[in-house]
Structure 1
Amino acid sequence: MTETRQIVEVDPGAKPRRFVFVPLENFSLLSFSSALECLRIANRMSGRTLYTWTLQGEGGGMISCSAGTSFQLDGDLGDLARDDTMLICGGIDVQSATTKRLLGWIRREARKGLVMGGLCTAAFTLAKAGLLDGKRATIHWENADSFTEAFDEVTLTKSVFVIDGNRMTTAGGTSSIDLMLQIIARDHGEELANAVADQMIYSSIRTDQDPQRLSVPTRIGVRHPKLSQVIQMMEQNIEEPISPSILAERVGMSTRQLERLFRRYLNRSPKRYYMELRLQKARNLLMQTDMSV
């Protein structure tokens, strides 16, 4: 097939920006590839080499992603230039992948003033290195509770991505696309960023103000305002649960009406649903931290 594309004009004097991807063992393939594809497509749509990239990691050998596929790294953890951008790619069991050597290297490179980011769960690695202290950040919602318990110096948000000074974090999944489109727009303008999004069939670009998770009605498959309000209150008060009678009172219902509402739409009592939420949080903390519950 004949290829046709409209070249987006950018500043002819723009110098290539190098990204150093640091995938950790069992890194998220979706988060990594989404970020990398944005850079590749930006080069293609501009007809220029605006971005270059390399993969570095401990030992410089092969590394496995969350899907079980192995990738060859370009090299070991080495010295970076001050204008490089480091993106650490996290995934499953990021705690085990965050080694002492890795933390030492990250801290050393940070002293050069590099722009550094954490994709998916790699916000944990940056925070462990002390590089998110006093900053805003985000991480995948499944890891939010354990992150908050471990790093109270970091202001954790529920956004899809966060840029705070020279630190960047994403919530995982396709949020890498939103972050990279923001970077491309800052570097070379909205026109190029939109062209990249079009090529990726990415029709709804999110900002750092957009939340990670679907709304409560979408998640539970029920559009009932009072039910959604009660579930939202439950999710926001896991550690100190609110009694069913108070929950009912806050949405203008009797306890019996609330009971019927939950059984009708969720086939369980409010107390049972609340307990399931609390058990899920406990499981997350047990799996992702050294805490006992």
Structure 2
Amino acid sequence: MKTTGDPIDFGFLLIPQFSMLSFAGVLEPLRMANRLAGAPLYRWWLFTPDDQPVLASNGIPFRPTAEIGHPGPLDTLIVVASIDVASYCTPAILHWLRALASRGINLGATSVGPLLLAKAGLLNHRRCTLHWENINGLREEFPDLDLTNELYEIDGKRLTCSGGTAGLDMMMHLIGQRHGYQLAVDVAEQCIHPEIRESRASQRLSLRNRLNVTNPHLVAVIECMELHLEDTLSCDQLARQVGLSVRHMHRLFKKNLAMSPSAFYLDLRLKRARALLEQTGLPISEIALACGFAAAPHFASCYKRRFKQTPSSERLRSLNDYPRNY
């Protein structure tokens, strides 16, 4: 039985091709907290799906330091994964995660790891998040999840994080809760992390920075497009939404983005379709509808013009390619 002064035990389930940046984001703050406190506040153990060494996305191998069959007295387990996580949603892993949850262990995940918790049914009725590029895919696959765009979410015994440096913010929040705000600040300074971001901070750069545009009307039109990728709006409707004439809206797109509003809108929809093809097992006909295409043949034609391959070829390629990681 643990006492108040005992170290807090973290486990990390490393899914092959996991992102090193995401792993460092949730592990290094614990190490720094121990060093700054001059005491072993935290211990950690590494698990892998089959108790064998795994490679990170950069090719560096990691050996497990504990076995799944003998997890020990964990306080928290965090799944560290990237885009290939669906390949490791095996019955054995899902059963293990459910068993840990039944013991009252905190369960978390970073980057695309929340998909594993969702498939285990462990995010039902909990707020959760994951990497911004995968949010639409998870929403399509699990429409009933309370999925947010936050940097991280802590809801009871579930902790989910969007990955990368957002892990620093989540872990410093936890350190602050357990060991005081000043230690969290000291850890942040060691990380050269000048601000501990709140969970509601944006995952992404603003539209202005992403597209290098400053005109507020143009930004408003694009934001409206992003909100209506499935139930698409006409140019007339878009212009009315932001109080512009259609002619003025066309001029703004031509001047700032060198394309028409309809071409830009189509590109947004096709990029979302590409992400869904790579990240989900949804039928291509459903992906077409989710991206505002009423007919699958029209979707396939537009897709091939944009990406030089059909949606079915894209899906096959994504299954065979080396995974992208965050």
Pick from 31, 47, 59 the counterpart of residue 56 of structure 1: 47
| 1:7 alignment partner in structure 2 | none
Pick from 204, 207, 211 the counterpart of residue 195 of structure 2: 204
1:248 to partner: Cα distance: 1.1
Q: Does the 8 Å contact 1:80/1:109 carry over to 2? A: no
1:163 to partner: Cα distance: 0.2
| 1:151 alignment partner in structure 2 | 142
Alpha-carbon distance between aligned partners in 1 of 2:239 and 2:143, rounded to the nearest angstrom: 33
| 2:58 alignment partner in structure 1 | 67
Matches within 5 A, 1:90-105: 90-105=81-96
1:14 to partner: Cα distance: 2.9
TM-score, normalised to structure 2, is 0.84
Report the AA paired with residue 251 of structure 1: V
| 2:205 alignment partner in structure 1 | 214
Report the AA paired with residue 214 of structure 1: L
Pick from 251, 265, 269 the counterpart of residue 278 of structure 1: 269
Matches within 5 A, 1:161-172: 161-172=152-163
Stretch of structure 1 that moved more, 88-97 or 193-202: 88-97
| 1:10 alignment partner in structure 2 | none
Deviations 1:26-68 (A, max 9, x none): 1111010121110000001100100000101122221011112
Pick from 232, 244, 256 the counterpart of residue 247 of structure 2: 256
1:223 to partner: Cα distance: 1.2
1:92 to partner: Cα distance: 2.5
* Number of residue-to-residue matches in the alignment: 282
Q: 1:83 to 1:95 in 2, by over 3 A?
A: closer
| 2:168 alignment partner in structure 1 | 177
Secondary structure in 2 aligned to 1:163? strand
Pick from 26, 31, 55 the counterpart of residue 35 of structure 1: 26
Stretch of structure 1 that moved more, 192-201 or 95-104: 95-104
1:142 to partner: Cα distance: 0.7
| 1:46 alignment partner in structure 2 | 37
Secondary structure in 2 aligned to 1:248? helix
1:82 to partner: Cα distance: 5.7
Q: Does the 8 Å contact 1:38/1:181 carry over to 2? A: yes
Alpha-carbon distance between aligned partners in 2 of 1:218 and 1:198, rounded to the nearest angstrom: 26
Q: Does the 8 Å contact 2:11/2:74 carry over to 1? A: no
Pick from 169, 179, 196 the counterpart of residue 188 of structure 1: 179
TM-score, normalised to structure 1, is 0.93
Q: Does the 8 Å contact 1:120/1:170 carry over to 2? A: yes
| 1:23 alignment partner in structure 2 | 14
Q: Does the 8 Å contact 2:49/2:88 carry over to 1? A: no
Gap runs ≥5 in structure 1: 1-12
Report the AA paired with residue 274 of structure 1: Y
1:81 to partner: Cα distance: 4.8
1:187 to partner: Cα distance: 0.5
Pick from 121, 124, 132 the counterpart of residue 141 of structure 1: 132
| 1:230 alignment partner in structure 2 | 221
Alpha-carbon distance between aligned partners in 1 of 2:211 and 2:138, rounded to the nearest angstrom: 25
Q: Which runs of 4+ in 1 moved over 6 A?
A: none
Secondary structure in 1 aligned to 2:259? coil
Alpha-carbon distance between aligned partners in 2 of 1:104 and 1:115, rounded to the nearest angstrom: 15
1:172 to partner: Cα distance: 1.0
